[in-house]
Each structure stands twice: as structure tokens, then as C-alpha cells.
């Protein structure tokens, strides 16, 4: 059941990222067309492109976390024994969980709250900046969720292997 929910969540998040990238491409194409063909550059397209790029980058980071494709020093980790590799992965996921919660969710929510309270608006589009900054806590939530799942899976592997080794030694002693 949990695996099915994760697959649906993955698909929805990936579709959202693809839609935002599609809108970003159309926006940039319109900017180029209006600037070089119409000789009258659009005033709002650059700002929209920046906002869409923020959302794509942050949601894309959440997708990458869900796929386990986050940045890492795999070369050195692959040289370790499998049990140590799992331990390093647990540490990495724990760091991501802490960062996603404290910096992205808590800090991002405070940033959104503050900018909405101050009613800060973008110059060209007149959009409340708090809505643009919502990308931070939303992607932080997904990163926290995916990292929590990864942390749980690695912890199960880690303790399963030590349990198997303990059982193996106990059966050898008999």
C-alpha cells in the first residue's frame, strides 16, 4: 500500500515538474520572439522565467531525492563494505531530513509568512512574493518525506544484516 502511494506521489510530482518546465520553455520562447521578431520585448516574461526556474529547481531536487539521485561522493562510498555503505546512507538521509525540516520547512514557512504579511509584490507581474517562496517549504516537505522513507529502508537493511550476522554466529556456536 505504501509503495503504491509513493508511486502515485512520484508520478504527480514528476508531472508537475514537467508542466512547469513546459510553461518555462513557452515563456522563454515568447520572450525571444517578442524581443527579436516583434522588436518589443515583453516586460513580464523574464520575471516569470525566474519564478518558474525557482519552482523547477526546488521541486526537481525533491524528485531527485525521491529517486535517490542526490549528490554524493559515490566513488569513496563504494569502496566501503556494504554494511558501512548503508551506515553512510543512513547518515546522509538523516542530514537531509534535518535540513529539509529545519531549513526548508520551518525556515521556508517563516519566509512565506513574513513576505505575505509584508505584502511584498514582484515588480512586473505584481505577484505576492510569498507565493513564489512557497516552493521552499513545499519542496522541503517532499524531501523530508522521501528522505524519511529512505532512512527507514536503510535502517531496516542495516539492522536486518546485523540480526542475520548475530543469528549466524549463534547457530555456528551450537
Give the start-to-end residue ranges of the domains of the chain.
2-173
Angle at 132 between CA 131 and CA 136, to 5 degrees: 100
What is the rounded distance in angstroms from the CA atom of residue 127 to the CA atom of residue 148?
A: 33
Q: Are 128 and 120 in contact (CB under 8 A)?
A: yes
> pLDDT tens digits, the chain, 174 residues: what are they?
778 888 999 999 999 999 999 999 999 999 999 999 999 999 999 999 999 999 999 999 999 998 888 666 677 888 899 999 999 999 999 999 999 999 999 999 999 999 999 999 999 999 999 999 999 999 999 999 999 999 999 999 999 876 766 665 555 555
27: nearest Cα among 41, 12, 8, 15: 41
Amino acid at each position: 500500500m505504501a509503495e503504491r502511494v509513493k508511486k502515485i506521489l512520484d508520478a504527480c510530482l514528476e508531472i508537475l515538474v514537467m508542466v512547469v518546465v513546459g510553461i518555462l520553455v513557452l515563456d522563454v520562447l515568447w520572450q525571444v520572439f517578442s524581443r527579436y521578431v516583434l522588436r518589443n520585448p515583453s516586460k513580464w516574461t523574464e520575471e516569470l522565467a525566474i519564478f518558474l526556474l525557482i519552482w523547477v529547481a526546488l521541486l526537481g531536487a525533491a524528485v531527485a531525492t525521491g529517486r535517490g539521485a542526490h549528490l554524493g561522493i559515490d566513488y569513496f562510498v563504494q569502496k566501503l563494505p556494504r554494511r558501512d555503505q548503508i551506515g553512510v546512507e543512513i547518515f546522509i538521509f538523516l542530514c537531509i531530513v534535518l535540513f529539509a525540516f529545519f531549513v526548508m520547512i520551518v525556515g521556508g514557512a517563516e519566509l512565506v509568512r513574513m513576505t505575505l504579511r509584508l505584502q511584498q509584490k514582484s515588480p512586473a507581474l505584481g505577484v505576492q512574493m510569498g507565493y513564489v517562496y512557497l516552493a521552499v517549504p513545499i519542496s522541503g516537505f517532499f524531501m523530508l518525506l522521501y528522505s524519511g522513507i529512505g532512512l527507514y529502508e536503510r535502517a531496516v537493511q542495516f539492522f536486518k544484516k546485523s540480526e542475520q550476522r548475530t543469528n549466524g554466529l549463534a547457530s555456528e556456536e551450537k
